[in-house]
Amino acid sequence: MTDAPILTVNNLSVAYEGGGTSHTIIDGVSFTLRRGEILGIVGESGSGKSMTCRALMRLLPSSRLRVTGGSVWLEDGRDVLSLSQGELTQVRGRRIGMIFQNPASHLDPVMSIGRQIAESIRHHRKIGRKEAWARMLDILRQVGIPDPESRANAYTHEFSGGMRQRAMIAVALACDPDILIADEPTTALDVTVQAQILRLLQQLRDERGLSIIFITHDLGVVYQLCDTVAVMYAGRLCEYGAMHEVIHRPRHHYTAGLVACQPGSEGGTGRVHTIPGQPPSPGDMPPGCRFHPRCGAADALCAARQPPLRETHEGHACACHHPVGIEAEAEA
C-alpha cells in the first residue's frame, strides 16, 4: 500500500427528493483510498454503504436521488462529480470497476463470458479482436477460471455461483482499473467459496496493486480482508481507521456493539449479543447523534448535538461525544 491517495471522497451527501419533501440519505461522508489498500465499509442494512459507492460513481439507482454536496477526487486531480458524460464512461471502465452480490443480474445471459469481456476491452481500448481475445483469456486465467480456452465460450447459466463471481470480477478487470468497488460480492456464497473469492481479491491487490472498496455487513469478512474500515450508521460515518485498531479497540459504541455481535464474542456464555432497537429511517432521523436512542452511554449532549468525526488516535477517527475507553485510558 502506498501513501498517495488514489481516491479522496470529501463530504459526500445524497438526498431523496419526492412528494414535496427531501430526506438526506448520505450525510457528509469522507474517506480516502490509497493504491493497494482494501477499505471495508461496514454497517447494518440501510446504513448507506451501497448508496455511498453508487454516488461516488454517479450511479444512483433512481432519478429521485441526487448528490447534494461533496467531491470525489481521482489521483489525476479530476472530480468525478464534475466530469462530462463521456469522461464518466471512461472513468467507470478504466479507473473504477464494480462487482455485485448477484453476478447473474449483471452479466449478459445470451453472450458468452469470453465475448462479454473481450467486447468490454474493445469498447475502452482501440485494439483488434484477436488481441482483445488473448487479453480476455489472460484475465480469465488471473481470476482462476480453469481451462479458459473452453470456458470462455460458456454462458452465465453454465457457471457455478463462485465461478460466476470470478467471471464478474474478470469483466470488472477487463479494462485494467485502479479501483474495484465490491458490493457484498460474497454474501450469497457458501463459506468455502467465499474464502476463495476473498483470497482472489487479496491476490489481485498484491499482484496488480488494485485498490478495493469492499462493502459488507460482516465484520468477520472485514477482519479477513481489509486494511482499513469505515463504519456507517444511518447515512453517516461513525468510525474510521486501521482495521486492527477499529476492531480490537472500537471507540464508537455502535462499532463496539457490532464487534460484540460477532459469533465467538459471547465470552463462552453461548448467548449471541444483539444491539437493542432499530436504526432510524431517513425521514425520521433523531437529532444529535443518530445512534443515541440505542446507546447505553448517551446523555443530554448526545441527544442535542451531532458529534463531529474526529481523531482519537493517529489514523483512527470516531464521531462520539463519549468514545469507548478514552477516559479510562487518560486516567490510567
> Grid coordinates standing for 59?
450511479
Whichever of 46 and 177 has its CB closer to ligand ATP, that residue is 46
Q: Closest distance between ligand ATP and the C-beta of residue 131, in Å?
A: 38
Please report how close the Cβ of residue 281 comes to ligand ATP at its closest, in angstroms. 6
Which H or E element spans position 168?
A: helix 161-173
Closer to ligand ATP by Cβ: residue 21 or 62 = 62
The answer to whether the CB of 317 falls within 8 A of the CB of 310 is yes
Q: Alpha-carbon distance 226 to 219, whole Å?
A: 10
* d(C-alpha 75, C-alpha 62), whole Å: 28
Per CB under 6 A, residues contacting ligand ATP are 16, 25, 43, 45-51, 61-62, 65, 217, 282
CB of 280 to ligand ATP, least distance (A): 9
Which residue type is seen at 231?
A: V
CB nearer to ligand ATP: give 65 or 258: 65
Closest contact distance (angstroms) between CB of 46 and ligand ATP is 4
d(CA 53, CA 9): 10
Q: Which is nearer to ligand ATP, 43 or 307 (CB)?
A: 43
31, 152, 321 from 310: Cα distances, Å: 13, 49, 10
Shortest CB 64 distance to ligand ATP, Å: 6
Residues with Cβ < 8 Å from 294, sequence gap 6 or more? 254, 257, 275, 276, 277
The identity of residue 73, as a single letter, is W
Specify the residue, 43 or 185, whose C-beta has the smaller distance to ligand ATP: 43
What is each CA distance from 261 to 149, 227, 257, in whole angstroms? 45, 21, 6
Smallest distance from ligand ATP to CB 101, Å: 8
Nearer to ligand ATP by Cβ, of 21 and 45: the residue is: 45
